[in-house]
A and B are shown apart, each in its own frame.
Chain A
Amino acid sequence: MSLSRKTAVAGVYEHPTRFAPDKSLFQIMAESVRGALDDAGLTIKDVNGLCTTGIGMSGMGIVGFCDYLNLTPNFVDSTSIGGSSFVAHTAHAAAAIHAGLCDVCVVVYGSTAASSRFAIGTGGAGGMMSGDPCDQYEQPFGPTTVGAYAMIAQRHMHDYGTTSEQLAEVAVTMRLHASMNPVAKYREPITVQDVLASRIISSPLHLLDCCIISDGGGALVITSAERARDLKKKPVYILGAGETVRHAARGKRDFLEIAAAQSGRLALERAGVAHKDIDMAMIYDSFTITVLATLENLGFCKRGEGGAFVSGGRLRYDGDFPINTDGGGLSSNHPGMRGIFLVIEAAKQLRGECGPRQVKDCKIALAHGTGGALGTRHSGATLILSNQ
Protein backbone atom coordinates (compact mmCIF):
# COMPACT_ATOMS: atom_id res chain seq x y z
CA MET A 1 0.00 0.00 0.00
CA SER A 2 1.66 3.19 -1.13
CA LEU A 3 1.12 6.40 0.78
CA SER A 4 2.52 8.48 -2.04
CA ARG A 5 0.55 11.66 -2.70
CA LYS A 6 -2.38 10.50 -0.53
CA THR A 7 -1.66 13.14 2.10
CA ALA A 8 -0.14 16.60 2.18
CA VAL A 9 1.38 19.25 4.38
CA ALA A 10 -1.35 21.89 4.22
CA GLY A 11 0.02 24.46 6.64
CA VAL A 12 3.34 25.36 8.24
CA TYR A 13 4.56 27.89 10.78
CA GLU A 14 7.95 28.61 12.27
CA HIS A 15 7.67 30.74 15.39
CA PRO A 16 9.85 33.82 14.81
CA THR A 17 11.13 33.92 18.37
CA ARG A 18 14.67 32.83 19.20
CA PHE A 19 14.55 34.00 22.83
CA ALA A 20 11.33 33.96 24.78
CA PRO A 21 11.82 34.23 28.55
CA ASP A 22 8.34 35.77 28.65
CA LYS A 23 6.58 32.69 27.25
CA SER A 24 5.82 29.25 28.62
CA LEU A 25 6.59 26.11 26.63
CA PHE A 26 2.91 25.44 25.94
CA GLN A 27 2.36 29.07 24.88
CA ILE A 28 5.07 28.83 22.22
CA MET A 29 3.53 25.55 21.06
CA ALA A 30 -0.01 26.95 20.97
CA GLU A 31 1.13 30.05 19.06
CA SER A 32 2.84 27.73 16.57
CA VAL A 33 -0.34 25.64 16.16
CA ARG A 34 -2.36 28.80 15.54
CA GLY A 35 0.17 29.97 12.97
CA ALA A 36 0.10 26.69 11.03
CA LEU A 37 -3.71 26.56 11.09
CA ASP A 38 -3.91 30.16 9.84
CA ASP A 39 -1.47 29.23 7.07
CA ALA A 40 -3.72 26.33 6.02
CA GLY A 41 -6.96 28.28 6.41
CA LEU A 42 -8.23 25.94 9.12
CA THR A 43 -9.19 26.41 12.77
CA ILE A 44 -8.51 24.45 15.94
CA LYS A 45 -12.06 23.01 15.58
CA ASP A 46 -10.86 21.13 12.49
CA VAL A 47 -8.02 19.37 14.33
CA ASN A 48 -8.57 15.77 15.42
CA GLY A 49 -5.01 14.47 15.48
CA LEU A 50 -1.96 15.66 17.42
CA CYS A 51 1.71 14.70 17.42
CA THR A 52 4.30 16.20 19.74
CA THR A 53 7.19 15.48 22.07
CA GLY A 54 10.02 17.58 23.44
CA ILE A 55 12.86 18.09 25.83
CA GLY A 56 10.90 20.44 28.07
CA MET A 57 7.90 18.18 28.66
CA SER A 58 7.37 14.87 30.42
CA GLY A 59 6.91 11.58 28.63
CA MET A 60 3.16 12.20 28.94
CA GLY A 61 3.48 15.85 27.89
CA ILE A 62 1.21 15.39 24.90
CA VAL A 63 -1.72 14.78 27.25
CA GLY A 64 -0.85 17.96 29.16
CA PHE A 65 -0.73 19.91 25.93
CA CYS A 66 -4.16 18.55 24.87
CA ASP A 67 -5.38 19.80 28.26
CA TYR A 68 -3.85 23.25 27.56
CA LEU A 69 -5.57 23.43 24.15
CA ASN A 70 -8.78 21.78 25.42
CA LEU A 71 -8.34 19.25 22.63
CA THR A 72 -9.74 15.69 22.56
CA PRO A 73 -8.18 14.21 19.40
CA ASN A 74 -8.94 10.83 17.78
CA PHE A 75 -5.23 10.22 17.15
CA VAL A 76 -2.18 11.05 19.26
CA ASP A 77 1.47 10.17 18.69
CA SER A 78 4.29 11.13 21.01
CA THR A 79 7.05 9.10 19.39
CA SER A 80 10.18 10.41 21.08
CA ILE A 81 13.32 9.54 19.15
CA GLY A 82 15.18 12.82 19.57
CA GLY A 83 15.35 15.73 17.17
CA SER A 84 14.13 13.61 14.27
CA SER A 85 10.81 12.92 16.04
CA PHE A 86 8.84 15.51 14.06
CA VAL A 87 9.93 14.13 10.71
CA ALA A 88 8.71 10.73 11.93
CA HIS A 89 5.50 12.33 13.30
CA THR A 90 4.77 13.75 9.85
CA ALA A 91 4.96 10.25 8.36
CA HIS A 92 2.90 8.79 11.20
CA ALA A 93 0.26 11.50 10.73
CA ALA A 94 0.13 10.75 7.01
CA ALA A 95 -0.34 7.02 7.69
CA ALA A 96 -3.02 7.74 10.31
CA ILE A 97 -4.93 10.02 7.96
CA HIS A 98 -4.66 7.51 5.13
CA ALA A 99 -5.92 4.76 7.48
CA GLY A 100 -8.87 6.91 8.53
CA LEU A 101 -7.74 7.41 12.13
CA CYS A 102 -8.02 11.20 11.88
CA ASP A 103 -8.61 13.92 9.26
CA VAL A 104 -6.49 16.91 10.24
CA CYS A 105 -3.37 16.25 12.29
CA VAL A 106 -1.12 18.91 13.80
CA VAL A 107 2.55 18.19 14.45
CA VAL A 108 4.02 20.68 16.91
CA TYR A 109 7.23 21.38 18.80
CA GLY A 110 8.29 24.12 21.17
CA SER A 111 11.14 24.76 23.56
CA THR A 112 12.60 27.40 25.83
CA ALA A 113 16.04 25.79 25.68
CA ALA A 114 17.91 29.10 25.47
CA SER A 115 16.08 31.06 28.16
CA SER A 116 16.09 27.99 30.44
CA ARG A 117 19.87 27.80 29.88
CA PHE A 118 19.97 24.10 29.02
CA ALA A 119 23.53 22.90 28.36
CA ILE A 120 22.23 20.67 25.61
CA GLY A 121 25.45 19.75 23.89
CA THR A 122 27.91 19.97 26.74
CA GLY A 123 25.95 18.89 29.80
CA GLY A 124 25.20 15.35 30.82
CA ALA A 125 21.53 16.05 31.31
CA GLY A 126 20.79 17.59 27.91
CA GLY A 127 20.73 14.61 25.65
CA MET A 128 23.01 11.93 27.05
CA MET A 129 21.51 11.15 30.47
CA SER A 130 18.44 9.11 29.60
CA GLY A 131 17.97 7.16 32.82
CA ASP A 132 17.89 4.00 30.74
CA PRO A 133 19.95 0.96 31.82
CA CYS A 134 22.52 1.48 29.04
CA ASP A 135 23.59 4.80 30.65
CA GLN A 136 25.69 2.98 33.26
CA TYR A 137 28.25 1.92 30.65
CA GLU A 138 28.66 5.44 29.26
CA GLN A 139 27.94 8.14 31.85
CA PRO A 140 31.02 7.42 34.00
CA PHE A 141 33.25 8.38 31.04
CA GLY A 142 31.81 11.84 30.38
CA PRO A 143 29.96 11.59 27.09
CA THR A 144 28.47 14.84 25.86
CA THR A 145 26.39 15.23 22.73
CA VAL A 146 29.26 17.13 21.09
CA GLY A 147 31.77 14.47 22.16
CA ALA A 148 29.69 11.64 20.75
CA TYR A 149 29.55 13.36 17.35
CA ALA A 150 33.20 14.40 17.57
CA MET A 151 34.24 10.74 17.70
CA ILE A 152 32.50 10.20 14.35
CA ALA A 153 34.36 13.17 12.87
CA GLN A 154 37.68 11.86 14.20
CA ARG A 155 37.16 8.43 12.65
CA HIS A 156 36.01 9.94 9.35
CA MET A 157 39.14 12.09 9.21
CA HIS A 158 41.30 9.05 9.93
CA ASP A 159 39.67 6.79 7.35
CA TYR A 160 39.18 9.29 4.54
CA GLY A 161 41.42 12.29 5.15
CA THR A 162 38.46 14.57 5.73
CA THR A 163 39.64 17.96 7.00
CA SER A 164 38.44 20.57 9.48
CA GLU A 165 38.37 23.00 6.54
CA GLN A 166 35.85 20.79 4.74
CA LEU A 167 33.66 20.55 7.84
CA ALA A 168 33.89 24.33 8.23
CA GLU A 169 32.49 24.78 4.71
CA VAL A 170 29.18 23.43 6.00
CA ALA A 171 29.05 26.04 8.79
CA VAL A 172 30.01 28.83 6.38
CA THR A 173 27.22 27.88 3.94
CA MET A 174 24.63 27.67 6.71
CA ARG A 175 25.62 31.15 7.88
CA LEU A 176 25.29 32.50 4.35
CA HIS A 177 21.74 31.13 4.26
CA ALA A 178 21.00 32.58 7.69
CA SER A 179 22.10 35.99 6.42
CA MET A 180 19.17 35.79 3.99
CA ASN A 181 16.67 34.74 6.68
CA PRO A 182 15.38 37.73 8.69
CA VAL A 183 14.49 35.58 11.72
CA ALA A 184 17.74 33.56 11.87
CA LYS A 185 19.57 33.89 15.19
CA TYR A 186 23.09 34.48 13.81
CA ARG A 187 23.23 36.41 10.52
CA GLU A 188 26.76 37.83 10.27
CA PRO A 189 28.68 35.95 7.56
CA ILE A 190 31.63 33.81 8.71
CA THR A 191 34.64 32.30 6.95
CA VAL A 192 36.38 28.94 7.12
CA GLN A 193 39.12 30.70 9.09
CA ASP A 194 36.54 31.93 11.64
CA VAL A 195 35.38 28.35 12.20
CA LEU A 196 38.94 27.05 12.59
CA ALA A 197 39.81 29.91 14.94
CA SER A 198 36.86 29.23 17.24
CA ARG A 199 37.69 27.21 20.33
CA ILE A 200 37.67 23.42 20.34
CA ILE A 201 34.67 22.06 22.26
CA SER A 202 35.42 18.38 21.72
CA SER A 203 38.19 17.57 19.25
CA PRO A 204 38.06 17.85 16.30
CA LEU A 205 34.85 19.94 16.55
CA HIS A 206 35.11 23.69 17.11
CA LEU A 207 32.46 25.96 18.59
CA LEU A 208 31.30 26.96 15.10
CA ASP A 209 31.00 23.29 14.07
CA CYS A 210 28.21 23.06 16.65
CA CYS A 211 24.56 24.07 16.40
CA ILE A 212 23.28 27.04 18.33
CA ILE A 213 20.85 27.03 21.26
CA SER A 214 17.65 29.02 20.79
CA ASP A 215 14.11 29.18 22.05
CA GLY A 216 11.53 28.45 19.42
CA GLY A 217 8.73 26.38 18.05
CA GLY A 218 6.96 25.33 14.94
CA ALA A 219 3.95 23.41 13.67
CA LEU A 220 2.64 21.57 10.63
CA VAL A 221 -0.89 20.76 9.53
CA ILE A 222 -1.24 17.40 7.77
CA THR A 223 -4.40 16.31 5.98
CA SER A 224 -5.54 14.25 2.98
CA ALA A 225 -4.34 15.38 -0.43
CA GLU A 226 -7.94 15.80 -1.49
CA ARG A 227 -8.78 18.13 1.38
CA ALA A 228 -5.48 20.01 1.05
CA ARG A 229 -6.35 20.96 -2.54
CA ASP A 230 -9.33 22.96 -1.24
CA LEU A 231 -7.32 24.87 1.36
CA LYS A 232 -5.58 28.24 1.33
CA LYS A 233 -2.06 27.19 0.31
CA LYS A 234 -0.71 24.98 -2.43
CA PRO A 235 -0.45 21.40 -1.07
CA VAL A 236 2.94 19.89 -0.38
CA TYR A 237 2.43 16.20 -1.03
CA ILE A 238 4.02 13.50 1.10
CA LEU A 239 5.65 11.04 -1.30
CA GLY A 240 7.47 8.66 0.99
CA ALA A 241 9.07 8.21 4.38
CA GLY A 242 11.43 5.96 6.29
CA GLU A 243 12.71 5.69 9.83
CA THR A 244 15.06 3.53 11.89
CA VAL A 245 17.66 3.55 14.66
CA ARG A 246 21.36 2.77 15.00
CA HIS A 247 23.33 1.99 18.18
CA ALA A 248 26.52 0.26 19.26
CA ALA A 249 25.19 -3.06 17.90
CA ARG A 250 26.44 -5.13 20.89
CA GLY A 251 29.86 -3.50 20.52
CA LYS A 252 30.32 -4.34 16.85
CA ARG A 253 29.04 -1.34 14.95
CA ASP A 254 30.71 0.36 12.04
CA PHE A 255 30.05 3.85 13.41
CA LEU A 256 30.25 5.61 10.05
CA GLU A 257 27.19 3.68 8.86
CA ILE A 258 24.26 5.65 10.26
CA ALA A 259 20.46 5.44 10.36
CA ALA A 260 20.13 7.62 7.26
CA ALA A 261 21.39 4.75 5.09
CA GLN A 262 18.28 2.72 5.91
CA SER A 263 15.66 5.44 6.39
CA GLY A 264 16.78 7.25 3.24
CA ARG A 265 16.69 4.12 1.09
CA LEU A 266 13.19 3.30 2.38
CA ALA A 267 11.91 6.83 1.81
CA LEU A 268 13.26 7.07 -1.74
CA GLU A 269 11.98 3.60 -2.68
CA ARG A 270 8.55 4.29 -1.22
CA ALA A 271 8.38 7.67 -2.98
CA GLY A 272 9.52 6.18 -6.28
CA VAL A 273 12.12 8.93 -6.51
CA ALA A 274 15.82 8.81 -7.44
CA HIS A 275 18.66 10.84 -5.93
CA LYS A 276 18.93 12.98 -9.06
CA ASP A 277 15.26 14.01 -8.66
CA ILE A 278 15.89 15.78 -5.34
CA ASP A 279 16.01 19.57 -5.88
CA MET A 280 16.87 20.55 -2.31
CA ALA A 281 17.35 18.85 1.04
CA MET A 282 16.91 19.74 4.68
CA ILE A 283 19.59 17.82 6.57
CA TYR A 284 19.66 17.90 10.36
CA ASP A 285 22.81 19.90 11.14
CA SER A 286 23.39 19.40 14.84
CA PHE A 287 27.08 19.52 13.92
CA THR A 288 28.96 19.96 10.67
CA ILE A 289 29.93 16.27 10.72
CA THR A 290 26.23 15.32 10.95
CA VAL A 291 25.65 16.86 7.51
CA LEU A 292 28.65 15.14 5.96
CA ALA A 293 27.82 11.71 7.39
CA THR A 294 24.13 12.06 6.52
CA LEU A 295 24.75 13.01 2.89
CA GLU A 296 27.06 10.01 2.47
CA ASN A 297 24.61 7.63 4.11
CA LEU A 298 21.63 8.95 2.17
CA GLY A 299 23.67 8.11 -0.92
CA PHE A 300 24.18 11.60 -2.39
CA CYS A 301 27.87 10.82 -2.48
CA LYS A 302 29.98 7.77 -1.78
CA ARG A 303 31.26 6.96 1.68
CA GLY A 304 34.45 8.90 2.27
CA GLU A 305 33.64 11.51 -0.36
CA GLY A 306 31.54 13.73 1.93
CA GLY A 307 34.38 16.18 2.54
CA ALA A 308 34.76 16.98 -1.13
CA PHE A 309 30.99 16.91 -1.67
CA VAL A 310 30.23 19.65 0.90
CA SER A 311 33.00 21.90 -0.45
CA GLY A 312 33.09 24.48 -3.21
CA GLY A 313 29.69 25.97 -2.46
CA ARG A 314 27.75 22.90 -3.59
CA LEU A 315 25.35 23.16 -0.63
CA ARG A 316 24.47 26.82 -1.23
CA TYR A 317 20.93 27.83 -2.17
CA ASP A 318 22.29 28.52 -5.67
CA GLY A 319 24.65 25.51 -5.74
CA ASP A 320 24.29 22.06 -7.27
CA PHE A 321 22.77 20.54 -4.14
CA PRO A 322 21.14 23.16 -1.89
CA ILE A 323 20.52 22.25 1.73
CA ASN A 324 19.23 24.01 4.86
CA THR A 325 18.31 27.23 3.14
CA ASP A 326 16.94 28.69 6.38
CA GLY A 327 20.41 28.73 7.91
CA GLY A 328 20.00 25.40 9.69
CA GLY A 329 20.57 24.55 13.29
CA LEU A 330 24.11 25.86 12.90
CA SER A 331 22.93 29.45 12.45
CA SER A 332 19.15 29.93 12.43
CA ASN A 333 17.22 27.87 14.94
CA HIS A 334 17.99 24.93 17.23
CA PRO A 335 15.74 24.95 20.30
CA GLY A 336 16.93 21.56 21.56
CA MET A 337 15.28 19.65 18.73
CA ARG A 338 15.06 20.76 15.14
CA GLY A 339 13.11 18.18 13.15
CA ILE A 340 10.00 20.31 12.71
CA PHE A 341 11.95 23.10 10.96
CA LEU A 342 13.27 20.65 8.38
CA VAL A 343 9.74 19.98 7.17
CA ILE A 344 8.68 23.64 7.45
CA GLU A 345 11.51 25.04 5.30
CA ALA A 346 11.20 22.19 2.75
CA ALA A 347 7.48 22.99 2.41
CA LYS A 348 8.18 26.72 2.02
CA GLN A 349 10.75 25.99 -0.69
CA LEU A 350 8.25 23.78 -2.53
CA ARG A 351 5.67 26.59 -2.28
CA GLY A 352 8.20 29.09 -3.61
CA GLU A 353 8.00 31.32 -0.53
CA CYS A 354 11.68 31.67 0.31
CA GLY A 355 12.44 35.04 -1.26
CA PRO A 356 16.17 35.69 -1.75
CA ARG A 357 17.11 32.17 -0.64
CA GLN A 358 14.56 30.43 -2.90
CA VAL A 359 15.91 27.39 -4.76
CA LYS A 360 15.04 27.65 -8.47
CA ASP A 361 12.54 25.16 -9.91
CA CYS A 362 12.14 23.34 -6.61
CA LYS A 363 9.76 20.42 -7.15
CA ILE A 364 10.98 17.62 -4.88
CA ALA A 365 12.60 18.04 -1.48
CA LEU A 366 14.06 15.62 1.03
CA ALA A 367 14.07 16.18 4.79
CA HIS A 368 16.23 14.05 7.05
CA GLY A 369 16.21 14.24 10.82
CA THR A 370 18.79 12.73 13.15
CA GLY A 371 17.91 12.26 16.82
CA GLY A 372 20.29 11.36 19.63
CA ALA A 373 24.01 10.99 18.94
CA LEU A 374 25.74 9.34 16.00
CA GLY A 375 28.50 8.16 18.35
CA THR A 376 26.25 6.28 20.78
CA ARG A 377 22.61 5.76 19.74
CA HIS A 378 20.47 7.67 17.32
CA SER A 379 17.39 7.62 15.15
CA GLY A 380 16.97 8.72 11.57
CA ALA A 381 13.77 9.77 9.81
CA THR A 382 13.56 10.71 6.14
CA LEU A 383 10.67 12.34 4.29
CA ILE A 384 10.22 13.05 0.58
CA LEU A 385 7.93 15.97 -0.32
CA SER A 386 6.75 17.45 -3.60
CA ASN A 387 4.57 20.27 -4.91
CA GLN A 388 3.32 18.04 -7.72
Chain B
Amino acid sequence: MAEQTQAKKYAKPLPHLDEESRPWWEALQRHELYIQKCRECGDTRYYPRALCTNCMSANTEWVKCSGRGKVYTFTATYQNQTPGFRESLPYIMAYVELDEGVKMLTNLVDCAPEQVKIDMPVEVVYEDVTPEVTLAKFRPAR
Protein backbone atom coordinates (compact mmCIF):
# COMPACT_ATOMS: atom_id res chain seq x y z
CA MET B 1 0.00 0.00 0.00
CA ALA B 2 2.82 2.33 0.87
CA GLU B 3 4.33 1.73 -2.56
CA GLN B 4 1.06 2.62 -4.25
CA THR B 5 0.89 5.89 -2.35
CA GLN B 6 4.47 6.59 -3.39
CA ALA B 7 3.66 5.99 -7.06
CA LYS B 8 0.80 8.50 -6.99
CA LYS B 9 2.84 11.19 -5.29
CA TYR B 10 3.41 14.32 -7.37
CA ALA B 11 7.11 14.12 -8.23
CA LYS B 12 7.88 17.43 -9.98
CA PRO B 13 9.46 20.27 -8.02
CA LEU B 14 6.97 22.18 -5.89
CA PRO B 15 7.24 25.88 -5.15
CA HIS B 16 8.65 26.89 -1.78
CA LEU B 17 6.01 29.39 -0.72
CA ASP B 18 6.98 32.29 1.48
CA GLU B 19 4.89 34.93 3.23
CA GLU B 20 5.52 37.36 0.38
CA SER B 21 4.21 34.94 -2.27
CA ARG B 22 1.46 33.19 -0.29
CA PRO B 23 -1.46 35.46 -1.38
CA TRP B 24 -0.64 34.78 -5.04
CA TRP B 25 -0.47 31.02 -4.57
CA GLU B 26 -3.66 31.05 -2.45
CA ALA B 27 -5.48 32.87 -5.26
CA LEU B 28 -4.38 30.13 -7.68
CA GLN B 29 -5.94 27.59 -5.32
CA ARG B 30 -9.22 29.49 -5.86
CA HIS B 31 -8.49 29.34 -9.62
CA GLU B 32 -7.78 33.04 -9.87
CA LEU B 33 -4.70 34.59 -11.49
CA TYR B 34 -3.39 37.96 -10.34
CA ILE B 35 -0.59 40.33 -11.15
CA GLN B 36 0.41 43.32 -9.05
CA LYS B 37 0.01 47.03 -9.73
CA CYS B 38 1.65 49.85 -7.84
CA ARG B 39 -0.90 52.25 -6.34
CA GLU B 40 1.66 55.06 -6.41
CA CYS B 41 3.04 54.95 -9.95
CA GLY B 42 0.74 52.47 -11.69
CA ASP B 43 3.50 50.11 -12.85
CA THR B 44 2.44 46.47 -13.16
CA ARG B 45 4.68 43.55 -12.31
CA TYR B 46 5.05 39.78 -12.33
CA TYR B 47 6.28 37.75 -10.40
CA PRO B 48 4.74 39.11 -7.18
CA ARG B 49 6.98 41.03 -4.81
CA ALA B 50 6.53 43.41 -1.90
CA LEU B 51 7.99 46.56 -3.44
CA CYS B 52 7.36 48.22 -6.80
CA THR B 53 10.42 47.83 -9.02
CA ASN B 54 9.82 51.28 -10.49
CA CYS B 55 9.35 53.45 -7.37
CA MET B 56 9.90 50.99 -4.49
CA SER B 57 6.51 51.74 -3.00
CA ALA B 58 4.91 48.97 -0.93
CA ASN B 59 1.43 50.29 -1.71
CA THR B 60 0.27 47.48 -3.99
CA GLU B 61 -3.03 46.34 -5.45
CA TRP B 62 -3.74 42.94 -6.92
CA VAL B 63 -5.17 42.99 -10.44
CA LYS B 64 -7.23 39.97 -11.47
CA CYS B 65 -6.21 38.68 -14.90
CA SER B 66 -8.50 37.60 -17.71
CA GLY B 67 -6.45 34.42 -18.04
CA ARG B 68 -5.93 35.13 -21.72
CA GLY B 69 -2.72 35.82 -23.54
CA LYS B 70 -0.49 34.71 -26.38
CA VAL B 71 2.65 32.62 -26.72
CA TYR B 72 5.78 34.82 -26.64
CA THR B 73 8.18 31.89 -27.06
CA PHE B 74 8.32 28.19 -26.23
CA THR B 75 10.39 25.02 -26.27
CA ALA B 76 9.53 21.34 -26.26
CA THR B 77 11.91 19.61 -23.89
CA TYR B 78 12.95 16.04 -24.70
CA GLN B 79 15.66 15.62 -22.03
CA ASN B 80 15.41 16.54 -18.37
CA GLN B 81 16.81 14.43 -15.54
CA THR B 82 14.64 16.08 -12.87
CA PRO B 83 12.29 13.57 -11.19
CA GLY B 84 8.73 14.10 -12.39
CA PHE B 85 9.84 15.67 -15.64
CA ARG B 86 11.97 12.76 -16.82
CA GLU B 87 8.79 10.64 -16.77
CA SER B 88 6.74 13.17 -18.75
CA LEU B 89 8.85 13.97 -21.82
CA PRO B 90 8.36 15.82 -24.02
CA TYR B 91 6.66 18.73 -22.30
CA ILE B 92 6.24 22.29 -23.50
CA MET B 93 7.61 25.23 -21.56
CA ALA B 94 6.66 28.70 -22.70
CA TYR B 95 6.53 32.35 -21.87
CA VAL B 96 2.94 33.49 -22.21
CA GLU B 97 2.35 37.21 -22.53
CA LEU B 98 -0.85 37.93 -20.65
CA ASP B 99 -3.37 40.44 -22.01
CA GLU B 100 -2.43 42.49 -18.93
CA GLY B 101 1.08 42.95 -20.41
CA VAL B 102 3.42 40.70 -18.45
CA LYS B 103 5.21 37.52 -19.51
CA MET B 104 4.87 34.40 -17.36
CA LEU B 105 6.93 31.22 -17.52
CA THR B 106 4.51 28.29 -17.72
CA ASN B 107 3.66 25.04 -19.46
CA LEU B 108 1.43 24.65 -22.47
CA VAL B 109 -0.94 21.71 -22.20
CA ASP B 110 -3.60 20.05 -24.35
CA CYS B 111 -1.54 20.50 -27.51
CA ALA B 112 1.34 18.74 -29.27
CA PRO B 113 4.71 20.48 -29.72
CA GLU B 114 4.19 20.76 -33.48
CA GLN B 115 0.87 22.63 -32.97
CA VAL B 116 2.44 25.45 -30.98
CA LYS B 117 3.12 28.74 -32.74
CA ILE B 118 4.48 31.99 -31.38
CA ASP B 119 1.66 34.56 -31.00
CA MET B 120 -0.90 31.74 -30.72
CA PRO B 121 -3.79 32.80 -28.40
CA VAL B 122 -3.90 30.77 -25.18
CA GLU B 123 -6.04 30.62 -22.05
CA VAL B 124 -5.23 29.63 -18.49
CA VAL B 125 -6.00 26.21 -17.06
CA TYR B 126 -5.60 25.60 -13.35
CA GLU B 127 -3.91 22.38 -12.41
CA ASP B 128 -4.38 21.36 -8.77
CA VAL B 129 -1.18 19.35 -8.36
CA THR B 130 -1.36 18.93 -4.56
CA PRO B 131 -3.92 20.01 -1.94
CA GLU B 132 -1.75 23.08 -1.28
CA VAL B 133 -0.49 23.95 -4.75
CA THR B 134 -2.27 24.91 -7.97
CA LEU B 135 -0.29 25.80 -11.07
CA ALA B 136 -1.41 28.20 -13.80
CA LYS B 137 -0.80 26.49 -17.15
CA PHE B 138 -2.12 27.45 -20.57
CA ARG B 139 -3.84 25.73 -23.50
CA PRO B 140 -4.80 26.90 -26.98
CA ALA B 141 -7.70 29.39 -26.65
CA ARG B 142 -11.10 27.89 -27.41
Contact = CB atoms under 8 A, between A and B. Distances in A.
B77 interface: yes
B104 interface: yes
Nearest to B46: A251
Nearest to A149: B75
A127 to B, nearest CB: 12
Contact of B105 (A122, A204, A250, A376): A376
Interface string B62-80: 0000000000111111111
B31 to A, nearest CB: 16
Interface residues of B, number: 46
Contacts of B105: 137-138, 141, 143, 248, 376
A203 B113 contact: yes
Interface stretch (A6-14, A68-76, A128-136, A216-224): A128-136
A151 B80 contact: no
Contacts of B113: 203
Given A143-B93, A255-B95, A133 B13 contact: no
Contacts of A155: 72-73, 118
A205 B17 CA distance: 32
Interface SS, B side: loop
Contacts of B47: 134, 137, 248, 251
Contacts of A143: 93, 105
Contacts of B79: 122, 144, 146, 201-202
A253 interface: yes
A248 B73 contact: no
A165 to B, nearest CB: 19
Nearest to B15: A136
Interface in B98-123: 101-107, 113, 118-119
Contacts of B21: 133, 136
B57 interface: no
A200 B78 CA distance: 7
A204 B90 CA distance: 13
A253 B73 CA distance: 12
B135 interface: yes
A154 B15 contact: no
Residue of A119, A133, A199, A204 with highest tally of chain B CB at under 10 A: A133
A188 to B, nearest CB: 23
Q: Which 3 A-B pairs have the closest CB atoms?
A: A251-B102, A136-B15, A251-B46
Given A139-B13, A147-B80, 4 more contacts: A136-B16, A200-B78, A204-B75, A375-B73
Interface of A: 119, 122-125, 129, 133-144, 146-147, 150-152, 154-155, 158, 199-205, 248, 250-253, 255, 375-376
Interface of B: 12-18, 20-21, 35, 43-47, 53, 72-82, 85, 91, 93-95, 101-107, 113, 118-119, 129, 133, 135, 137
9 contacts: A124-B13, A151-B75, A151-B95, A154-B118, A155-B73, A251-B35, A251-B102, A252-B103, A375-B95
